[in-house]
Every structure is written in C-alpha cells, then in structure tokens.
Amino acid sequence: MTMRCPRCRTALETSTSEGVRFERCTTCHGLALAVPVLRRFAPEQRVRDVWLDLPAAGPGGGCPSCSNAMREISVDCDGAKVAIDVCKACQLLWFDAKELEQFSPERQAPPPRTDRLSPKAAEAVAVAEIVAREQMQQDREDAAAIAAALWLASGSSFAALLVMKRLAEQRR
Ligand SMILES: [Zn+2]
Ligand SMILES: [Zn+2]
C-alpha cells in the first residue's frame, strides 16, 4: 500500500541517506521516520520526551501508514517549539519540512536530497585509505627491521624488545 503525505496526500517516496531509511514527500518535503530509525541519530532525551508527552498530545494529521489520526506533540528544541505528529501504533513520526533539522541539529540527517559523493571524490577517499594502510604496513616493517638489527648488534633480545615496545607506543 502506498503511504501518503498527511499534509498534501502526495505518495511518499522511500529514500535512504547514510544508512537511514525514511519516507519523504517530494511536494511539501515532510518526512516519515520509524522510531527505531530516529533513535539512531537524534538526541536521546528528545526522543524520550516525545513518548512522555504522548498521553497529553492533541490530534494530528492522518498516519501515512494506517490512516488513523496521529497525535501532535510540541517538543521544545533549543527554545523553539516543534510540532511532531506521532502514530503510536505504527511507531511512526512525521516531521514537516525543516522540523527534523530543528529536532536533531547535531546530525542534520536525513537531508531532503540524497547527495552522494561525486565519482572523483569517492576515488580520492579510496586512494587516501589505501595510502594510509600501506603507510601503516611500512611502519610495522620498519619497526621489525630496527628491532632485528638492534638484536644482532647488541646480542640482546631485551634491547630489541624495548625498541619494539616504544615503537608500538608511538603508533598509538
Ligand atoms: Zn506533502
Ligand atoms: Zn499509523
């Protein structure tokens, strides 16, 4: 069954951004999010406040999932009142455009558009990761070589162990 926007009845589109799945309205830019999904990135206390305030909440828009009336909860977000619609049965929250950014400012997710890295940027990130990994491998080989040389020079495995220990600490 198609989920519909509680505000403008547009069919909602499923989007994913940084592993966060949500339904969005392409017309009015509202978003529907499941509670467990919201918990993954929104301030914990704020999510808890929503449930605490639920019994006193007034009627809201129709739930995109079950069509029953949601409850509208006014949440204090850094001094601003944000009215969020909640369907308790579906564990679903509805945020009008910009409300999610107010509710969860620490992580501005999910953004209305799913911008991805350009192929060039993705390649640069991949190359940087490979260089870092090779550098780490190189450091490890250097440490082993120094330790082996010292051991041979001093005839003391104890000195070599000390050097290896110090190198290991530096890498941390
Ligand atoms: Zn809409
Ligand atoms: Zn519902």
* 2-58 tens-digit pLDDT: 899 999 999 999 998 888 889 999 999 999 999 989 988 888 888 998 988 888 899
Ligand index nearest the alpha carbon of residue 34: 2
**Residue 24 Cα, ligand 1 centroid: separation in angstroms?**
8
> What is the rounded CA–CA span in Å between residue 25 and residue 29?
5
Confidence at residue 112, expressed as pLDDT on a 0 to 100 scale: 43
Q: Which residues contact 125 (CB under 8 A, 6 or more apart)?
A: 117
pLDDT at 109: 47
CB atoms within 10 A of CB 23: 22
How many CB atoms lie under 10 A from the CB of residue 141? 10
E-assigned strand segments in 40-91: 58-62, 69-77, 80-87
* Per-residue confidence band for 150, with pLDDT thresholds at 50, 70 and 90: low
pLDDT at residue 65, rounded to an integer: 95
> Which residues place a Cβ less than 5 A from the ion ligand 1?
5, 7-8, 10, 25, 27-28
pLDDT of the residue at 143: 67
Long-range contacts from 67-75, C-beta under 8 angstroms, 24+ separation: 70/6, 70/94, 75/46, 75/49, 75/50, 75/103
Which ligand is nearest the CA of 64, by number?
A: 2
Has residue 152 got a pLDDT over 90? no
CA of 59 to the centre of ligand 1 (A): 18
What 3-state DSSP class applies to 2? coil
The pLDDT tens digits of the residues spanning 95-133 come to 999 999 999 886 644 444 334 667 777 777 677 677 677
* Ligand 2: centre distance to CA 66 (Å): 4
Question: Exposed (0-12), middle (13-18) or buried (19+): which is 99, by Cβ within 10 Å?
Answer: buried
* Residue scoring higher pLDDT (154 or 132): 132
Ligand with smallest separation from the Cα of 6: 1
108 contacts 101 by C-beta, under 8 angstroms: yes
User: Is there a contact between 93 and 99 (Cβ–Cβ < 8 Å)?
Assistant: no
Name the residues around ion ligand 2, CB cutoff 5 A: 63, 65-66, 87, 90
Judged against a pLDDT cut of 60, whether residue 159 lies above it is answered with no
